[in-house]
């Protein structure tokens, strides 16, 4: 999610110097930044957001449809978050914040409406996915890929008939 936020900020919001303060501490537009309560922390050991946290999904969002519930619990392992100073700008430009902390403060999931499947997360869905019980986001992604492939195949023009093969004449030196 963090890299997609940076990409969107640079190419859609036209904040050419947008970055994460993790990558560039002096960037002018830190669209990904430390949580405010961690700004003055010097000793980073044990300060990351780690473990299982609740997330409220937005009704009528892809996230809500995939999970089938309003409140989900996902595992985190990070320090840097979406910088809410840029939230209104992103929303105005078409980003959808489809999952937040229960108090609405932390952005947990983002989507691009109208895209066949664009959903990015702050948390790590792979931590809860198992071969016998794949994570809902991975299932949704695979289903969207299959649907898109099938639609593409069905709408494709049939291949044209191959032209007849040219006749070959071989001159073996005779008359």
Spans of all domains in the chain: 2-35+48-132
The pLDDT assigned to 36 comes to 64
Lowest mean pLDDT among 33-37, 53-57, 77-81, 83-87: 33-37
Residue 112 has pLDDT above 90, yes or no: yes
Verdict on whether the full-model pTM lies above 0.85? no
Residue 6 has pLDDT above 90, yes or no: yes
The pLDDT assigned to 66 comes to 97
Q: Name the pLDDT band for 173 (thresholds 50, 70, 90).
A: low
Rounded-to-integer distance, Cα 13 and Cα 63, Å: 24
Cα 35 to its chain centre, rounded Å, is 21
Burial of 125 by CB count in 10 Å (0-12 exposed, 13-18 middle, 19+ buried)? Answer: middle
Task: Supply the mean pLDDT for the chain.
Answer: 87
The continuous run of DSSP H or E covering 50 comes out as strand 49-57
Is residue 80 a contact partner of residue 2, using CB atoms and an 8 Å limit? yes
- Domain 2-35+48-132 adopts which CATH fold? Rossmann fold (3.40.50)
Mean of pLDDT values over 114-136 = 92
pLDDT single digits (tens) 21-30: 999 999 999 9
The pLDDT assigned to 76 comes to 84
Which residue has better confidence, 172 or 74? 74
The pLDDT assigned to 106 comes to 94
Collapsing DSSP to helix, strand or coil, 75 comes out as strand
How far is the CA of 75 from the CAs of 38, 47, 55, 60, 112, in angstroms? 19, 15, 10, 23, 23
Torsion sign across C-alpha atoms 113, 117, 118, 123 = positive
Is residue 125 a contact partner of residue 138, using CB atoms and an 8 Å limit? yes
Residue 109 has pLDDT above 90, yes or no: yes
Q: Which residues contact 43 (CB under 8 A, 6 or more apart)?
A: none
Residue 4 has pLDDT above 80, yes or no: yes
The pLDDT assigned to 43 comes to 58
Collapsing DSSP to helix, strand or coil, 133 comes out as strand
The continuous run of DSSP H or E covering 78 comes out as strand 71-78
The pLDDT assigned to 157 comes to 58
- Of 135, 110, 115, nearest in space to 124 by CA: 135
Percentage of residues of the chain with pLDDT beyond 70: 80
Q: Give the strand pairing for 49-57 and 71-78.
A: antiparallel
């Amino acid at each position: 999610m963090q890299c997609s936020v940076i990409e969107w900020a640079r190419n859609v919001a036209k904040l050419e110097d947008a970055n994460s303060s993790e990558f560039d501490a002096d960037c002018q537009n830190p669209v990904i930044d430390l949580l405010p309560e961690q700004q003055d922390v010097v000793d980073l050991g044990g300060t990351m957001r780690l473990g299982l946290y609740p997330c409220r999904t937005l009704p009528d969002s892809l996230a809500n449809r995939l999970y089938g519930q309003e409140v989900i619990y996902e595992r985190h392992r990070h320090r840097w978050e979406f910088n809410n100073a840029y939230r209104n700008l992103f929303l105005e430009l078409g980003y959808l914040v489809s999952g937040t902390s229960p108090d609405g403060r932390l952005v947990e999931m983002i989507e691009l409406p109208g895209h066949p499947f664009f959903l990015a997360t702050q948390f790590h869905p792979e931590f809860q996915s198992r071969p016998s019980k794949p994570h809902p986001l991975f299932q949704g992604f695979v289903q969207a890929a299959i649907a898109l492939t099938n639609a593409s195949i069905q709408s494709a023009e049939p291949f044209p008939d191959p032209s007849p093969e040219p006749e070959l004449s071989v001159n073996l030196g005779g008359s």
